[in-house]
Amino acid sequence: MKISNSHGLSAGFLKSGLVESIDTEQVMISLRKASVYSGASANLWLRKRGGQIKYRPLMGPGSHTRFRAGKNIFRVIGSWDGLDYECLLQLSEKSLSWKWSVDILNNSDEDLVLDLIYVQDVGLKAAGSGTVNEYYVSQYLERRILDDSVYGSVICCRQNMKEAGGYPWLMIASVNGAVAASTDGMKFYGRTFRQKHWEVNVPGSLLLLHFRRGHSACLPERDTRAHLWQSLCAIIAPPPPSPILTGFPALCANFRVSVYLEIKVTG
């Protein structure tokens, strides 16, 4: 199952609804292709904030969602713990960019505070180059987390190993204004990921209650540069500042995350 736009951007999906990979005609944006055995790094995680954090992947086997694909749109619909949600992936017809939109309706009997974590693995290697060494590719990716007054934490990634199309780079931002971001997969998943969470494929950082604006979502860092290995981008998008109230079926939490890719032949 695959969706695409007129600029050569495409997103493939597994039968479970997980994102298999995102590619252009020149560049494989994802670090690796997902499979039914390895799972996928790219996903959207919805969290309930409170005394105890609850979380749910919005795509894949653990989500129990319904999904369908159109020409350049992938739609996911599901329910979880008193919430109805709809996720929409749209590929732009104007550029090499895509947008995730998530609408949530609170049908429970309590007011809620939610946040959304968008996770995307990044490789930016030549398309069709076959299986890649994830650690080798990641060390050539330059990653920065910028703090913008409007969009909050904004992630920028550039492949410093020259490809056929030059040096591709991408930018990830939340229209709502992200409260934090991370560019290191090792820290995002945590050291205990394979020991404790492998059965449900849950990143350890989902258990953290508070994140520092403009810094790693997982551990406090002295700066916003990624120094370790596996390249992964995670951005935390908050809903409007007030709780999502019960008793108002028309009131929704709206999340918008946009990704822009540029490929230029330079140097």
Q: Supply the pLDDT for residue 201.
A: 58
Q: Rounded mean pLDDT of the chain?
A: 76
Residue 239 has pLDDT above 70, yes or no: no
Residues 192-228: tens digit of each pLDDT: 666 654 445 567 778 776 655 444 444 333 333 333 3
Q: Supply the pLDDT for residue 257.
A: 57
What the chain holds in terms of domains, given with CATH numbers, is 37-57+97-262 (2.70.98.40)
Residues 89-134: tens digit of each pLDDT: 999 998 899 999 888 888 888 888 888 888 888 888 888 766 677 7
- Percent pLDDT > 70 in the chain is 70
> In the 3-class helix/strand/coil scheme, how is the chain assigned residue by residue?
CEEECCCCCEEEECCCCCEEEEECCCEECCCCCCECCCECCCEEEEEEECCCCEEEECCCHHHCCEEEECCCEEEEEEEECCEEEEEEEEECCCCCEEEEEEEEEECCCCCEEEEEEEEEECCCEECCCCCCCHHHHHCCEEEEEEEECCCEEEEEEEECCCECCECCEEEEEECCCECEEEEEHHHHHCCCHHHHCCCCCCCHHHHCCCCCCCCCCCCCCCCCECCCCCEEEEEEECCCCCCECCCCCCCEEEEEEEEEEECCCCC
Over residues 237-248, mean pLDDT: 49
Over residues 62-70, mean pLDDT: 88
Residues 129-183: tens digit of each pLDDT: 666 777 778 888 888 888 989 888 888 888 888 877 688 888 898 888 888 888 8
pTM here? 0.83
